[in-house]
Amino acid sequence: MRRRNVLPGLPLSLGVTLFYVGLIVVLPLAALVIKAASLGPEDYWRIVSSSRALASYRVTVLSALGATVFNLFFGLSLAWVITRYRFPGRRIIDAMVDLPFALPTAVAGIALTALFANNGWFGSVLEGYGIKVAYTPLGIMIAMCFTSLPFIVRTVQPVLEDLDPALEEAAQSLGGSDWTIFTKVILPLLAPALLAGLSLSFARSLGEFGAIIFIAGNQPMSTEITALLIFIRLEEYDYQAAAAIASVLLLAAFTMLAVTNWLQSRALRYTVKG
């Protein structure tokens, strides 16, 4: 099966890559893991499973889940509208999807806080209905929604664009309703891309800091995200605890990425075959 590779440049390109990744990515993360490991299993476990740390994981994971589910519907609708319909302003909407990628998270954070604080444009209206956003878990969710929205749109969009109309026509000629065709034909085709987008969006939400710190109430046990807890442990000079909790986030990120890559390789296999 495997051909002999005649292309040049493996030593150079791989050398540069490994050197750079080693220096910039692996070295600091290894230092972090070493620091965390210096704790010993018992202390490590006590720190990462303390009630406050557990509460912070819960806040972070639940908010990220909420944001991802919202983005599943919003992102899918957005991708659908952009690719399937023609209407004035479509191109602008298409372009705006990347804004959360390009806008610094700290800027997004202060802007969202200004909007959703109870004296802000949205906050003052919502307060009339008894809904508080800023300084509650809902605010964390909104910040996460904002920063991770483009992932779903941009992973689903190309697949949606390349969808073969013949498939739909065939299903239509067999008398399937739009809803049936969507759930039985289109959705399965989108599924790998959608899943990849969801896991990226989720991973990004787990790690978000800049946007959330401004809008979250930062209350221990209720609106304190894990990244903030690391920050606080650092401020208390408790480096090892900071490293321990950071290692949990690192593991989560690593797992999410592995899952994403696996999903993507499945998606690739699938589409190449088709």
Partner 1 sequence: MNRLLILGTALAALFVQPAFAQEQKLLNASYDVARELFVAENAAFVKAHPGVTIDQSHAGTSKQARSIVEGLEADVVTFNQSTDVDFLAKQGFVAADWNKAFPNNASPFYSFPAFLVRAGNPKNIKDWGDLARDDVHAIFPNPKTSGNARYTYLAATAWAKEEYKDDAEKIEAYITKIFDNVPVFDTGGRAATTTFVERGQGDVLITFEAETRGIEKQFGKDKVENVIPSVSLLAEFPVAVVDKVAKKHGTEALAKTYLEFLYTEEGQKIAAEFGHRVHNEKVAAEFKSQFPEIRLVKVDDVFGGWSKIQSEHFASGGTLDKLYGSR
Partner 2 sequence: MSAVSSHRKPPRVGDNTVFRRALIGIVLVLVAFVIVAPLIIIGVEAFSKGWAIYRDTILHPDTRHAIMLTVLAALIAVPVNTAFGIAAAWAITKFDFWGRRFLLVVIEIPFSVSPIVAGVAYLFVYGLQGLFGPVLDAYGIKILFAVPGIIIASMFVTAPFVVRELIPLMQAQGRDLEEASTSLGASGFRTFFSVTLPNVKWALLYGVILCNARVMGEFGAVSVVSGNIRGQTNTLPLHIELLYHDYQAAGAFASASILALIAVLTIIAKVALERQGAGRVRKTAIPAEKTA
CA–CA distance, 268 with 5 (Å, rounded to integer): 23
Q: How far is the CB of 63 from partner 1 (least distance, A)?
A: 16
* 50 vs 172 by CB, closer to partner 2: 172
192-210 burial, b at 16+ Cβ within 10 Å, e below that, comes to bbbbbbbbbbbbbbbbbbb
Helix/strand/coil for 57:
helix
Nearest-CA neighbor of 229 among 94, 8, 56?
56
Radius of gyration of the chain (CA): 22
**Helices and strands per DSSP (H, E), number in the chain:** 15, 0
Residues from 42 through 71 that contact partner 1 (CB under 8 A) = 51-52
CA–CA distance, 216 with 208 (Å, rounded to integer): 12
Residues from 130 through 149 that contact partner 2 (CB under 8 A) = 142, 145-146, 149
> Could you say which of partner 2, partner 1, none residue 273 binds, taking C-beta under 5 to 8 angstroms by partner kind?
none
Give residue 47's Cα distance to chain centre. Answer: 26
Q: Where are the beta strands (DSSP E) in 57-148?
A: none
Among the candidate windows 35-43, 66-74, 224-232, 259-267, which touches partner 1 by CB under 8 A?
Answer: 224-232
Q: How many residues bind partner 1 (CB under 8 A)?
A: 26
Residues from 190 through 219 that contact partner 1 (CB under 8 A) = 213, 217-219
Q: How far is the CB of 271 from partner 2 (least distance, A)?
A: 5
Q: Which residue in 48, 97, 133, 144 binds partner 2 (CB under 8 A)? A: 97
Tokens linked to 159: 């697949």
> Could you say which of partner 2, partner 1, none residue 14 binds, taking C-beta under 5 to 8 angstroms by partner kind?
partner 2
Residues from 232 through 251 that contact partner 2 (CB under 8 A) = 234, 239, 242-243, 246, 249-250
Nearest-CA neighbor of 160 among 125, 181, 191?
191
- Asked whether position 235 contacts partner 1 by CB under 8 A, the answer is yes
Nearest-CA neighbor of 217 among 129, 140, 147, 141?
140
Among the candidate windows 88-96, 146-154, 198-206, 235-243, which touches partner 1 by CB under 8 A?
Answer: 235-243
CB atoms within 10 A of CB 238: 14
> Could you say which of partner 2, partner 1, none residue 220 binds, taking C-beta under 5 to 8 angstroms by partner kind?
partner 1
Residues from 114 through 143 that contact partner 1 (CB under 8 A) = 117-120, 134-135
CA–CA distance, 81 with 73 (Å, rounded to integer): 12
Q: How far is the CB of 73 from partner 2 (least distance, A)?
A: 10
- Asked whether position 225 contacts partner 1 by CB under 8 A, the answer is no
Q: How far is the CB of 134 from partner 2 (least distance, A)?
A: 13
- Asked whether position 200 contacts partner 2 by CB under 8 A, the answer is yes
Contacting positions for partner 1 (CB under 8 A): 51-52, 113, 117-120, 134-135, 213, 217-222, 224, 228, 231-232, 234-238, 241
